[in-house]
Amino acid sequence: MIGEGRDRVDGRAKVTGEARYAAENNLPDLVHAVVVMATIPAGTIKTLDTATAKKAPGVLTVISHLNAPKLHLPGNAGGARSGGPQDNYAEPRALPFADATVHYLGQQIAVVVAETLEQATHAAQLVKVTYDAKPARTDLQALRAEAIEKPPGPQSQPFTQGDPRAAFASAAVKVDQVYRTPYQHHNPMEAHAIVASWKGDELTLYDSAQNIFATRQTLAHAFEIPTANVRVLSPFVGGAFGSKGSAWPHLMIGVIAARMVKRPVKLWLTRRQLFFTNGHRPETEQRVALGATREGKLVSIIHDAIGQGNAINDYNERCTRVTRMLYATPNLYADHKVVELNVSSPTYMRAPGENPGIFAIESALDELAYAVHVDPVQLRLINHADVNPTDGKPWSSKSLRECYARAAERFGWSRRKEEPMSMREGRLLIGYGMATATYPAHRAPASARAVLRDDGTVTVSSGSHEMGAGTATVMAQVAAEVLGIPVDRVRFLYGDTTLPTAPISAGSMTASSVGAAVFDVATALKKKLVALAGTDRIADHAALLHQHYLPAVEARVDSMPEESAQQYSMHAFGAHFAEVAVDAELGIARVRRMVSAFAAGRVLNAKTARSQYLGGMVMGIGAALLEETHFDKRVGSFTNVNLGEYLVPVNADIRNLEVIFVEENDAHVNPIGAKGIGEIGIVGVAPAIANAVYHATGRRVRDLPITIEKLL
């Protein structure tokens, strides 16, 4: 069953409206909460007048730092992507309503609870706030000298190998440029929303989340109740891209409100509010210096990056992590620092670190290709890393050379003329560009339970998440394959903390982590059945149970990564080839076609895998040509805070995209051989397009997105 292109098992529920998302849990006696946002980027609240708001129709209460209960600061806030059920509070040094301090514009400083959404919205507008403002830090470039290492840990420390600065100084050919990426916001179709309900000291939370077990533990710590008293349900997530991997302030605010009014509370954030309070990809500035021989062999790589952070959040956009493993060189320096600004908290966004980082390194490598007059594909082959350059570990598998070859052949790369502006169709300048893709192959501990009933059906459960990637479908396929039964006899349960523990659905590790647990539990169940039958040839599972007068047979496992895996460096790889057409008179750039080849271990479902790759590629096109959250440094505010002005690709922007699966057998990553594909599709798309734009126009754009004004 594994590998077949099967339809999603939840497809019908989603298109008919049967699937219930967080905000659609309309519990009896439900009331509504609407947050009030700060209108300055830095300072303190001087007065917060709620008298008029409290008198408004339907209002139950207004909560702020003046009357909110004091929460217990959660512990290990950095655990959001580590896989285990650690706390995952996004702003660990600023609990909501803890005091009168304003850290950024848009900070949630009060909440109104009322009988209806309309009443709460109206009353929130009646809350009057005055401030003691102080000068705000808003300019990343102006404050670059104040960049700091953050958070503590090896991945945040600078890495040096050899003597990169001396090697660069003496190199025959040099490229030394600065590349910039803008603020970007996730904008999932489903806004962040919760419904919180207390029964004594027991809390039930309906959430749109990527990490329900960490959310449960965060809330248990914050409200000082046993973890067992918190149940989090998130059966359907309408998009996340990293924004729903952490517990944001609105979550605790909604839970506080429900406890204070002693009724279920629904709190959902408007599109505008999402731009200020639920994370974003931070702005980055990256210097890349490449030193090479005249033949293109790298002798030095220096990649120095800074990104936006703030004083209450630990996030660091680790742009240089990809540089440390991508190409072979004896001399390497890589570092990524944070500049703390009075800007809302950044967070993980699809391929965090890798996506902006590879724009810089792959753009610089293209510049080097022109400097040494070597074909861009050949230059990458010259510098191919046969082992991980920084630790010497062998790859668990690496089919990057084949990705280059197959995608280049299918694309027709041999037709490319070397000189920029040498390919035209009338007023259109045609350009070809390419870039490498890569993403780590992560695996975290996960648990699963499987029950075979005497009607021949199997229920497999693990508290994972379904964000549209097809998780429920793929897990059913894995279990069916192991047990040797049709997929339609397997049901996969997920999205509930009463189920066996699963890690965060992020870092492209759900298939490898939960998939391994499903494989292991199905294998354990099969062993029990073989023991019952006395043979491994079981024609009818239901008949076997009837024969032994058993209503059901159950197995449960806790699946852990093998220690032997630490001997290998594990990554998925790929290659993007893009053709652009740029109107020579108007400066409009269009991606006419892309061919991308990926080697990411075993493909579990060809249909959902292709969809994941395509989704990443489309998002990469948006990052290259459209996506940017404009930021007004004068007032510390994002300005295009709606989907009318925050531009994302639509159907008319997307032409011919082709995905090639490069088959790969990796016996080391996990029992099912899958590396994870949720993020690699976006990595490398932006530099492939930027390189194609340079080939078309002779104009090198080093700051995304590539807009008309940058090409005119």
Residue 366 exposed, middle or buried by CB count within 10 Å (0-12, 13-18, 19+)? buried
| Contact (CB, 8 A) for 450 and 480 | no
Query: How would you classify the pairing of strands 193-199 and 202-207?
Result: antiparallel
Instruction: Return all residues near 69 (Cβ < 8 A) that are at least 6 apart.
Output: 256, 259, 260
Amino acid identity, position 531: A
Residue 417 exposed, middle or buried by CB count within 10 Å (0-12, 13-18, 19+)? exposed
* Cα torsion through 102, 104, 105, 107, rounded to 10: -70
Q: What is the DSSP string of 168-216?
A: HHT-SEEEEEEEEE--B----SSPPEEEEEEETTEEEEEE--S-HHHHH
Amino acid identity, position 221: H
Amino acid identity, position 109: I
Of 5, 300, 262, the C-alpha closest to 165 is 300
Cβ atoms < 10 Å from Cβ of 229: 17
In angstroms, how far is the first alpha carbon of the chain from the final one? 53
Q: Please identify which of the residues 149, 190, 679, 709 carries the catalytic annotation.
A: 679
Phi, psi dihedral angles at 528 (to 5 degrees): -65, -40
DSSP letter assigned to residue 517: H
| Contact (CB, 8 A) for 516 and 478 | no
Of 97, 79, 22, 73, the C-alpha closest to 466 is 22
Q: Where are the extended beta strands (E) located within 521-623? A: 552-559, 571-583, 589-599
190 catalytic, yes or no? no
- Which DSSP helix (H) or strand (E) runs through 110? strand 108-114
The pair of structure tokens assigned to 278 is 């639920």
Q: What is the DSSP string of 27-60?
A: -TT-EEEEEEE-SSSSEEEEEEE-HHHHHSTTEE
CA distance 155 to 159: 9
Return the active site residues: 679
